[in-house]
């Protein structure tokens, strides 16, 4: 929708008004059912902003979106419109492709930079349709990129529970040259699940791995 921001804003406003005018959970389920009957961008963009924690889950068997209604109020159409305008400007002249990650990585040439953000093994195996995702296949594709002189950065599980839980992800020898720990704040999902608690023990850090 990079060429039609006003259409995107209208999609959101219509569904937001329906949600706010009726019973929140009932209206959410109506929109979710419409999406599951006929997957479409108009319903999905609103569901992404109003589902629980903003985390979209798809059932492996048939692609059914199962995430329930969030406990938060979805942002207003005006706030959504400001975000649309901002990203419309930022993504101007950007080309988006929907294809397998291996195909995308094979397109990269020497001197190019790739950032990979795969589903996280310790927390996202049922999210985003990630049940069949192969991390080892991604590592193989990254290795081919490295041999061609393509720079690759990869985000993956690091630590949870303020460092008490280390997410040990086996990595290929000598594939990555450097590693950084990126503090991500307190767990988003825990913030929703444990409303009212300060969550000092739920800080999360990601690992940023680079091939250069």
Query: Domain extents for the chain?
Result: 5-90, 101-210
Separation between Cα atoms, residue 114 and residue 94, nearest integer Å: 15
Average pLDDT (6-32) is: 97
Beta strands 151-160 and 165-166 are antiparallel
Query: Which residue, 210, 191, 209, 211, is CA-closest to 201?
Result: 191
Confidence of residue 20 (pLDDT cuts 50, 70, 90): very high
Per-residue pLDDT tens over the stretch 165-192: 566 788 899 999 999 988 876 555 545 5
**Does domain 5-90 bear CATH number 2.60.40.1120?**
no
pLDDT above 70 coverage of the chain, percent: 81
Per-residue pLDDT tens over the stretch 51-105: 998 888 888 788 899 999 999 899 999 999 999 999 999 999 999 999 999 999 9
pLDDT (0 to 100) of residue 199: 46
Concatenated DSSP letters of 37-58: HS--HHHHHHHHHHBGGG---B
Confidence of residue 119 (pLDDT cuts 50, 70, 90): confident
Separation between Cα atoms, residue 70 and residue 54, nearest integer Å: 8
Separation between Cα atoms, residue 156 and residue 208, nearest integer Å: 7
pLDDT surpassing 50 at residue 12: yes
Separation between Cα atoms, residue 92 and residue 75, nearest integer Å: 24
More confident call, 199 vs 106: 106
pLDDT (0 to 100) of residue 201: 54
């Amino acid at each position: 929708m990079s060429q039609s921001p006003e259409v995107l804003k209208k999609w959101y406003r219509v569904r937001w008004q329906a949600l706010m005018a009726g019973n929140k959970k009932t209206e959410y389920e109506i929109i979710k059912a419409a999406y599951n009957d006929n997957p479409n961008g108009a319903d999905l963009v609103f569901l992404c902003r109003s589902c629980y924690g903003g985390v979209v889950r798809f059932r492996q068997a048939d692609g059914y979106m199962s995430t329930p209604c969030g406990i938060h109020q979805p942002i207003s159409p005006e706030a959504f419109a400001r975000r649309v305008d901002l990203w419309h400007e930022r993504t101007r002249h950007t080309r988006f492709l929907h294809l397998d990650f291996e195909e995308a990585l094979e397109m990269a040439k020497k001197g190019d930079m790739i950032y990979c953000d795969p589903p996280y093994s310790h927390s996202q195996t049922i999210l985003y349709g990630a049940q069949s995702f192969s991390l080892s296949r991604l590592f193989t594709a990254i290795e081919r990129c490295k041999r061609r002189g393509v720079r690759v950065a990869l985000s993956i599980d690091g630590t949870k529970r303020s460092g008490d839980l280390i997410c040990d992800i086996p990595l290929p020898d000598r594939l990555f040259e450097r590693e950084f720990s990126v503090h991500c704040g307190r767990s988003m999902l825990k913030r929703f699940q444990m409303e009212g608690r300060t969550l000092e023990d739920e800080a999360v850090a990601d690992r940023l791995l680079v091939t250069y």
